[in-house]
Amino acid sequence: MVTLPKLNDLGFFEIRLESIGGLGANLAGKMLAEAGVVGVGLNGVSFSSYGSEKKGSAVKAHIRFCDMDTRIRDTSPVERPHVVGVFHESLSKTVNVISGIYEDSTVLVNSTKTPDELKEKMKLRGGTIAVIDAIGISLEEKNRVNMAMLGALFRLCDFLDPDVMRGVIRKSLEKKYPLAVAPALRTFDRGYNEVKFQTYALPEGETMPDFVRFDTPVLGYETQSIGGVITNPGNSILKDLSISRAGMMPHFHEDKCIHCASCDNVCPDFCFVWDELPDKKGRPQMFLQGIDYQYCKGCLKCVQACPTEALTNEREEDGYADLNRMPHRFNLAVNS
């Protein structure tokens, strides 16, 4: 009989996966639950919650495990997780990914930073911080981020059997995608072996803040604007699409650019910034100034369209987008 390491008042061990559409958190949650229920004989349930079903939108996957003698009668979202898996580090800009954690919870982050750096960035006080470069592994193995995250989760949840998960991967992929089985297994194994983690004790005299529900609406019948005006619509200039990038981004090389606008024609989010300047003969012409990375979601259509290699496909490095961003004029007006 498998013994769960921690249980809440209802007898559950709970996991929450924080992700964006396209990284496979929904499938990862289902496979994780199957490995616990079918593989090691636990009771379990898995389900997801999300808004618009598209790449880049926020997604949460919820998993509950309990002993066979405990009935699962709670299908509400996981609010107090024992383990949190953050599939994209930049999610912490817009989503409270560590909402509801205990002082001894484990937070797994897809990142290239160290546990110490993430502790400072995410303002974590105690518990275990684990790091795995899931994007880097998936790019090298030509597979999905979720397989590397699953490998790391199995290392952290030692009551689960990784051999069972390997069987689940084969079962899920071999019929429809037989060529994907070997890369998926390699990605899973690398996630399992390469995850790094550090445990921090809560500073003496400090306590965890009181739990506040992460899904409480900011606007209600007492606080909404007159007429129910939407103050931050989906097409707002304040929108930040950078969390949609999955490891790769375009780099702009001005010396190779012929200002043909092929990139601008295929860009779905108007990321390219232009200015009217005189050409060599003094005639007014539009010249490309750069990329507003706030709106770039890393689709890389511009790289494919560029005829001169003025745009190249590069692995995203922390801080590059902020340092090389060319803001649109309306952003400059808003920020000033």
41: left (phi over 0), alpha (psi -120 to 50) or beta: left
pLDDT at 62: 96
Q: Quick one: which of 93, 16, 98, 101 has its CA closest to 59?
A: 16
Token pair recorded at residue 147: 């397989």
pLDDT at 216: 57
Query: Hey, what long-range contacts does 325-330 have (CB within 8 A, 24 or more apart)?
Result: 325/290, 325/291, 325/292, 325/293, 325/294, 326/273, 326/289, 326/290, 326/291, 326/292, 327/273, 327/292, 327/294, 328/237, 328/273, 328/292, 329/273, 330/237
Pairwise CA distance, residues 33 & 64, whole Å? 8
CB-based contact 93:99 (threshold 8 Å): no
pLDDT at 332: 52
pLDDT at 336: 47
Q: 16-36 as b/e, with b when 16 or more CB fall inside 10 Å? A: bbbbbbbbbbbbbbbbbbbbb
- Spans of the chain below 70 pLDDT: 1, 51-56, 212-218, 231-238, 330-336
Q: Quick one: which of 78, 132, 76, 67 has its CA closest to 105?
A: 78
pLDDT at 238: 63
Q: For 154-199, how does the pLDDT look when each residue is reduced to its tens digit (9 = 90+)?
A: 999 989 999 999 998 998 888 888 999 999 999 999 999 999 999 9
Q: Report, in angstroms and rounded to the nearest whole number, the Rg of the chain calculated over CA atoms.
A: 23
* DSSP string for 132-191: E-HHHHHHHHTS-HHHHHHHHHHHH-TTS-HHHHHHHHHHHHTTT-GGGHHHHHHHHHHH
Pairwise CA distance, residues 284 & 172, whole Å? 58
